[in-house]
Amino acid sequence: MLFHYVKLAFRLLVRNPRFSLINTLGLATGFAAFLILWPYAQEELHTDQFHKDYDQIARLGSRVQLTVDGKNWTEWTTAGCFWGGATMIKNRFSEVIDLTRLVPQKAFKKEVQGSDPKVLISLRKENDQKVFFSEKTVAYAEANFFRFFSFPLALGSADQILARPATVALSETVAKKYFASANPMDKVIYLNDSLPFRVSGVFKDLPKNTHFQLDILLSTAGIQSIDVFNWDLYRDWGSYSYVKVKDGNFTALETKLKASSKELFGPLFGAQAHPSYLVDPLTQLSFINRFDYAFKVKSRQPLVLLNVIAFVILGMAWINYVSLSIHQLRKRLSEIGTRKVVGASAKHLALQFLVEAALLNGISFLLALTLVQLSNTGVERWFGIYLISWADLPASSVTLIGLVLLGGMLITGLYPVWIALAYKPLQLLRKLKTYRSPRWVNGVVTLQYTCAIVLLIWITAVYAQINFILNKDLGIDKQAVVVVDSPIRRSPAFERELRTFLHQVRTLPGVGDVTFSVSVMGDDVRSQDVRKNRTAMVVPLDNSGGVDEHFIPLYHIQLLAGRNFGPDQPADQKTVLLSETAVKRMGYRRIQEALGSTIFLPGEVAVEVIGIYRDYEFRPLLNGVREEGRGSILTYKRNPVAYMTPEKISVKINTKAYQATIEGLKNTYTASFGDSLFEWRFLEEHLEKQYVGEQLARNQIALFTVIAIFIACLGLLGMITNKADQKIKEIGIRKIVGAKPHHIAKLLLKATLIQVVVSTLVGIPLAKYLIKEYLETFSERVSLLWWHYGFALLILLLLMFGTIISVLRKAANRNPAEALRYE
């Protein structure tokens, strides 16, 4: 009997090829979008929840509230805390039952860790030949790191992998890169070609749903006095400190830490500062962006939105299927009536329609799996969405996917059964001439159009905002600037080599000017503490420092008062430039009051303010990243701040022949420094990378907006085709009495136009609310005008009506005589 139902279902699919194709494509697209989006969004939203006791783990951060006048307060927060400070907390508070720490590469200081944030790893090959690798995912970690966290190991044991001094754990990818297929255990690598570390284990590549980005972990074992908290900001091992809290009561611990701030921080801050510790749960770390955070920050809002979009798209596909099935049901009413007359029971009818639904949903699901596999590489590359293998899917996701598939079959298969049971056979045999599609069908179709309108307006706003921040005036000239990394390996004559390199670069064809600095816009920014006088409170400012006299003119930074640094003037060795905001933060009432004044850097170093410049943007224009009103300072070369060594070399070039210029830069770089690791980038591209997450989110929303519109257009095509078939006689009669093509189009589109109007009235306010929430994540926002909404709506209407134009033309041009003979 079941085989008979399956055979009949296949016949019906073949008999109605257009209906079958539209439904199969729509359902397959909906299933594919769901299978890509839902597991990915769930995996990301549950970042770091695969660790044992994840709900008891938190990271200790710091908050400092500052005031100049005792009335107006500013606040800054950091992701790290002092290494020794974490030890004090562990020893003092019984709620903390375990502790582990790491120092990310971003926080390396040469005078503390033996390396600055630029890390070079060297290997000794045969004949003492050296091979060098520039690495960006290195950290120092405590011996219990792999016991504290549940990262699986490929070689070594969690108890021993970092237990011995001068040992290192490598990821599988890095181990293969360094040693190919050879066993990496006990091999030696060198940090910055000087500090040896022996490989004591290999860990499996970290999963994508963790906030860590680490490939090389150097052991802190054997480092003397590492736990001593000496209150020195520049010498203490600043760390990311992770604690396990009894019962996961983070709020109670944070309250106790705040009450004990004076004892925990001691004399580090003055009376005009209120420091305290933060307790950030592990489950939230990927979504919290604090100052000096070293790892990639994820945005929760787009992930939640992708979760919703997954169901929206699948729901739109089901709406298409249900509405088209109901419109097609009229043609099968006689069949249902005949089967009831000959004794078909409700069970038989239900089985038949459920088999048909199962067959169509099954074919669509298999096609969706094929689409997912075919799109695997492209989806990850262009949209940042990685696919989860079935083996790695949690049981809850597998269960949900199964319920989604089963629910689709039941929803789309049981309605015809309800119709069959609700009417008598005679009514069915008369084809229910009074039969109309239920009102809820029109309602769900309207909901489908509303979703399409909201998504299209949303993506229009997202594109406008991303373009706005990428093209915003940052207070600098970023055009045609190439940024070159200074060499990691430096000889004792580095400063002389740098001067020679700069001189030779200025003589290269296509080069306008060259300068150097510790960092450039878009880099991690160093903080520089300053004081207005010896008794004033410390004010932390951003610092690209260690610049030369060419920095201001090359970047076209506007000087508001005073002068720039002079070329190698001894008088400028203890001078600084302040930004306009820095002047205000330090308590000066006007620019002229700050000009020529003496301020103090750490170590009671007195410096003169010789110039005030217009503020320029250091950080991305994102809330939680950019600290409003922070201000900045520029120091001259390595005076008076000795650790401000040149890290970035900025070159203004002629872009018309940039390839030849870059080749000349490379040759000059190699000749000057003897270093083959020549790394460069355009500043504009570097700045755009600050918004890579937002650009990926934009691409994701755009992709699934296109999919949603495609499904909506498929549904409209099927619905208008069915309606044209149902009204074929009416259309013929109207044409005979003089109806024009636009009258026929109005007849077929009347209900659709009403649905679009209702969808617009509902969709625009909803889209406006969602856009407002999205724009709140930026510190600078585009102003949306009426045409942003109107343009999106016009595009949707053009796409929808362009889809059905051929059906409307065919209906309007059909011979009336043929239409009147139609049955």
Q: What confidence tens digit (pLDDT) does each residue in 506-546 have?
A: 999 999 999 999 888 887 777 788 888 888 877 888 887 78
| pLDDT band, residue 234 (cuts 50/70/90) | very low
The residue among 749 and 86 whose pLDDT is bigger is 86
| pLDDT band, residue 6 (cuts 50/70/90) | confident
Highest mean pLDDT among 16-20, 299-303, 515-519, 694-698: 515-519
Percent of the chain residues topping a pLDDT of 70? 86
Mean pLDDT of all residues in 670-699: 82
Same domain, 200 and 244: yes
Q: Is residue 62 part of a domain?
A: yes
The residue among 123 and 623 whose pLDDT is bigger is 123
pLDDT of residue 263: 80
At residue 9, does pLDDT exceed 70? no
Same domain, 697 and 684: no
Q: Is residue 545 part of a domain?
A: yes
Q: Is residue 302 part of a domain?
A: no
At residue 231, does pLDDT exceed 50? no
Same domain, 341 and 228: no
Least confident residue range of 10-14, 160-164, 298-302, 613-617 = 10-14
Same domain, 390 and 519: no
The residue among 274 and 148 whose pLDDT is bigger is 148
Contact between 413 and 405 under an 8 Å Cβ cutoff? The reply is: no
Same domain, 227 and 114: yes
Mean pLDDT of all residues in 94-118: 85
> Do the strands 167-171 and 195-203 form a parallel or antiparallel pair, or are they unpaired?
parallel
Helix-helix angle 300-329:439-471, to 10 degrees: 150
At residue 149, does pLDDT exceed 80? yes
Q: How far apart are CA 114 and CA 127, in angstroms?
A: 27
Contact between 622 and 482 under an 8 Å Cβ cutoff? The reply is: no
Mean pLDDT of all residues in 661-668: 92
Q: Is residue 295 part of a domain?
A: no
pLDDT of residue 233: 43
CB-count burial class (<10 Å; 0-12, 13-18, 19+) for 202: buried
Same domain, 17 and 121: no
Same domain, 420 and 319: yes
The residue among 215 and 260 whose pLDDT is bigger is 215
Same domain, 6 and 99: no
Q: What confidence tens digit (pLDDT) does each residue in 111-120 have?
A: 777 777 888 8
Q: Is residue 584 part of a domain?
A: yes
Same domain, 75 and 163: yes
pLDDT of residue 408: 73
Q: Is residue 400 part of a domain?
A: no
Mean pLDDT of all residues in 405-415: 75
At residue 774, does pLDDT exceed 50? yes
At residue 819, does pLDDT exceed 60? no
| pLDDT band, residue 782 (cuts 50/70/90) | confident
Q: How far apart are CA 306 and CA 310, in angstroms?
A: 6
Mean pLDDT of all residues in 58-63: 91
Of 672, 688, 704, which one is at a domain's C-terminal end? Answer: 688
pLDDT of residue 340: 67
Of 688, 708, 741, which one is at a domain's C-terminal end? Answer: 688
At residue 434, does pLDDT exceed 50? no
Q: Quick one: DSSP state of residue 225?
A: T
CB-count burial class (<10 Å; 0-12, 13-18, 19+) for 80: buried
At residue 229, does pLDDT exceed 70? no
Same domain, 376 and 521: no
Least confident residue range of 367-381, 705-719, 808-822 = 808-822
| Structural domain span for residue 557 | 481-688
| pLDDT band, residue 554 (cuts 50/70/90) | very high
The residue among 664 and 383 whose pLDDT is bigger is 664
Total count of domains within the chain: 4
Same domain, 530 and 657: yes
At residue 792, does pLDDT exceed 60? yes
Q: Quick one: DSSP state of residue 565?
A: P
Q: What is the DSSP string of 514-558?
A: EEEES--TTSPPEEEEEBSSTTSPPEEEEE--SB-TTHHHHTTPP
Q: CA 177: distance to chain centroid?
A: 27
At residue 47, does pLDDT exceed 80? yes
Highest mean pLDDT among 261-265, 275-279, 294-298, 376-380: 275-279
Highest mean pLDDT among 169-173, 308-312, 465-469, 681-685: 169-173
pLDDT of residue 49: 93
Same domain, 705 and 789: yes
Q: Is residue 730 part of a domain?
A: yes
At residue 38, does pLDDT exceed 60? yes
Q: Is residue 655 part of a domain?
A: yes
Q: How far apart are CA 613 and CA 582, in angstroms?
A: 10
pLDDT of residue 558: 93
Of 233, 252, 287, which one is at a domain's C-terminal end? Answer: 287
At residue 417, does pLDDT exceed 80? no
Q: What tokens were used for 90?
A: 């562990």
pLDDT of residue 143: 93
| Buried b or exposed e, range 305-334, using 16+ CB within 10 angstroms | bbbebbebbbbbbbbbbbbbbbbbbbebbe
Cα angle: 748, vertex 753, 755; to 5 degrees: 115
